[in-house]
Amino acid sequence: MLTSSLILHPAYTVGEVDPRIFGSFIEHLGRAVYHGVYEPGHPTADEEGFRKDVLDLVKKLGVPIVRYPGGNFVSGYRWEDGTGPKDKRPRRPELAWGVTETNEVGIDEFQSWAKKAGSSVMMAVNLGTRGPEEARNLVEYCNFKSGTYYADLRRQNGFEEPFGIKTWCLGNEMDGAWQMGAKTATEYGRIACEAAKLMKWTDPDIELVVCGSSGSGMCGDWEAEVLKHTYDHVDYISLHSYYGNPANDTASFLASSMDMDRFIRTVCAIADYVKHVKRSKKTMYLSFDEWNVWFHSHGAPFEKWSVAPHQLEDVYTFEDALVVGTLLMTLLKHCDRVKMACLAQLVNVIAPIMTENAEDGGRAWAQTIFYPFMHCSAYGRGTVLDARIDCPTYDAKNAKGVPYLESCAVYHEEEREIDLFAVNRSLEEDMAFTCDLTAFGGKELSVIEHLTMTNDDLKAVNTADNPTAVVPEANGDAQAEGGKIIATLGKHSWNVVRVKMN
C-alpha cells in the first residue's frame, strides 16, 4: 500500500476558478454538428432540429462556453454561407477534413443551440484564407444592434437582437503546416494585430484570443513573436495539446499531465517576458482551448467528400478517463492564469458524448471521459487551494519523478465545503490518503460522499449497447478523523471526496 498526504490551509490559495475553464468545442467536422447536436429527423429533435437527448447530456456536463466553428475548418470558412434561408446556402468542398459542408447549420443556428445548452459561444474567425475585413463583418453581424449592412442582414434573417458574442479567437493553429493559410509567426502576428484592432473598434466589449502553438512541442519562438505584435490588442493566448497511448505504455500515458503543466508554465514565462519587454501593466491570460486524449481514431478511413462521415470518433477507455482527470486537475491548479479551456470536442468527434444517427438507432450515451469532466465542472468552481503534497514517485519513459498521486482541492467558502479530486496513478497498489484540514479552524468535518471510478480492465469502454460499463459510484471509504480526512484511493482510480466543515 502506498501512502500520501495533503496539507491544506485557507490562506494558501492559487486563485478563483473561472467557470469557463470547463468549456468545450464543436467544430464542423465529422458528426459533431450533423447527427451530433443537429439532426432534424431524430425522434428527440426540437423545432429547430436540435437533438434533445444530446442537449440533456451537454447540460449534465455544465459547459459554460463552446468554441465554434473550428478548428482547422474555420481557416477556410466563409461565415456568410451559414446564414440566411437554408435552401439558398451553398454546399462547399471542405478542405480541412476532405468532406462536403452543407451549411445547414451556421452561426444563426449555433448561437440558438448554445443558449439552449446554457453556454456562451467562443467564436473563431478565419485568418487562414480570409482576413480582418471578413472578421470585422462577422463581429458586426453578430453584435451590432441595427442600422448597418450586416446588422440589418442579421435582422432580415430573423434575429432582431444581436447575438452578443463576447469571446473571439483570432484564427486557429496558424503555426501548423496542415492549416489552410498557415503563416510564419511574423505574418500571423501582423494580421492578428490588424484583425484585432478592427474587431475591437467594431465592438469594444469583445475579448480576443490570439493563437499560440498547436502543441507543447511547438511552443517557444512562436508565442514570443506573435505576442510582440499583438500584446496590447488581445486578452488571451491559446494553447492546444492532445495526448495518447499508441505504444500501450500506460505508466507514461498517465504522466501526460506533466507535459501540460510544463506547457502552461512555459507559455506564462514567455508572456511575462513580453510583458516586461513592453513595460506593460497587463497580464496575458491563457485559453487552453483544445485539449483531450486523441489517438484511437488516427488513420480511420472515411469516404472523401461525403457529408458528416464518422471521423475522429475515439472510443474512450477507462484509462483515458484517468488521464482526462489528471489534465482537468492540472488546468485547475493553474486557474490564476488559465481562464478558459475547451475539452476538444463535445459530441462524436473526440468527445465525451456519442450518438448514433437516427437511421442506425439514434441512441446517445456518455463515454468514460464524461465523468471526470462532469465532476470537476460540478464541484470544481471555487477557490483552488495551494496544497502541500507528499507522495512517492515513479519514473516513466516520458517523465521522471511522476507523483503517484495527482490531486487538487477546491474550497467553497460560503458552502463550507472542500472538494478533493484525486487520481492514484499506481497500476499495482492502493494508496492510503490523508488530507490535513486542521488549519481550517478545528471545524467538525464530515464526508458528504466519496465518489470513485475504477475498473479492473484499463481498456474498458462504454458503448451504445453497454453505456454503463464505466461509471462512477459513491462507494469510497473516506471518513473524517479529527481534523483530517482519511481515505483509500484504489489503484488506478479517479476519486472525488466532498467534505463539509460545520
CB of 205 to ligand AHR, least distance (A): 26
Nearer to ligand AHR, 173 or 313 (CB): 173
Q: Could you tell me the three cell numbers for 423?
A: 487520481
In the complex with ligand AHR, which residue's Cβ is closer, 70 or 189? Answer: 70
- Collapsed DSSP state (helix, strand, coil) of residue 463: coil
Residues 221 and 271 sit within 8 Å (Cβ to Cβ): no
Residues linked to residue 168 through DSSP beta bridges, in sequence order: 123, 208
Q: How far is the CB of 350 from ligand AHR (least distance, A)?
A: 6
CA 63 from centroid of its chain's CA atoms:
9
Question: Least distance from C-beta 258 to ligand AHR, angstroms?
Answer: 21
Residue closer to ligand AHR, measured from CB, 27 or 140: 27
* Residue whose C-beta lies closest to ligand AHR: 71
Identity at 100, one-letter amino acid code: T
Shortest Cβ 421–ligand AHR spacing (Å): 25
For residues 255 and 249, give the distance between their C-alpha atoms in angstroms, rounded to a whole number: 10
Q: Which is nearer to ligand AHR, 105 or 387 (CB)?
A: 105
Q: Which residues of 81-95 are buried (b: 16+ CB within 10 A; e: fewer)?
A: bbbbeeeebeeeebe
CA distance 129 to 179: 10
Nearer to ligand AHR, 173 or 223 (CB): 173
Please, which residues bridge with residue 406 across strands?
Answer: 423
Could you tell me how far CA 333 lies from the centroid of its own chain?
Answer: 15
Q: Is 173 an annotated catalytic residue?
A: yes
Residue 484 near residue 438 (C-beta atoms within 8 A): yes
Which CB, 75 or 250, lies closer to ligand AHR? 75
**Catalytic residue (one of 223, 290, 313, 406):** 290
Residues 6+ apart with CB under 8 A from 287: 169, 209, 236, 237, 238, 239, 338, 339, 340, 341, 342
- Closest distance to ligand AHR from the beta carbon of 430 (Å): 36
Give Cα 340 distance to the centre of its chain.
8
**Shortest reach from residue 397's CB to ligand AHR, in Å:** 25
Asked if 325 contacts 253 with a C-beta cutoff of 8 angstroms, the reply is no
Active-site residue (options: 173, 194, 223, 319): 173
Taking the least distance from each CB to ligand AHR, the nearer of 290 and 336 is: 290
Q: Which residues bind ligand AHR (CB under 6 A)?
A: 27, 70-72, 172-173, 214, 290, 344-345
Cα–Cα distance measured from residue 394 to residue 382, given in angstroms and rounded to the nearest whole number? 31
Minimum gap (Å) between residue 186 Cβ and ligand AHR: 21
Rounded Cα distance between 31 and 19, Å, is: 27
Q: How many CA atoms lie within 13 A of 438 on its CB side?
A: 7
Helix, strand, or coil (residue 265): helix
Q: Say how far apart CA 385 and CA 435 lie, in whole Å.
A: 12
Supply the minimum distance, in Å, between the C-beta of residue 217 and ligand AHR: 13
Report d(CA 378, CA 457) in Å as an integer. Answer: 27
**Closest residue by Cα to residue 73 from 93, 54, 89, 91:** 93
| Closer residue to ligand AHR in complex, CB, 297/398 | 297
Q: Is the dihedral of CA 407, 366, 294, 61 positive or negative?
A: negative
How far apart CA 341 and CA 240 sit, in angstroms, is 9
Rounded to whole angstroms, the Cα distance separating 423 from 2 reads: 13
> 70 or 162: whose CB is closer to ligand AHR?
70
Q: Is residue 290 annotated as part of the catalytic site, yes or no?
A: yes
Least distance from C-beta 173 to ligand AHR, angstroms?
Answer: 5
Q: Is 482 helix (H, G, I), strand (E, B) or coil?
A: coil
Query: Which SS3 state, helix, strand or coil, does residue 8 take?
Result: coil
Whether 132 and 198 have beta carbons less than 8 Å apart is answered as: yes
- Which sequence positions are flagged as catalytic? 173, 290
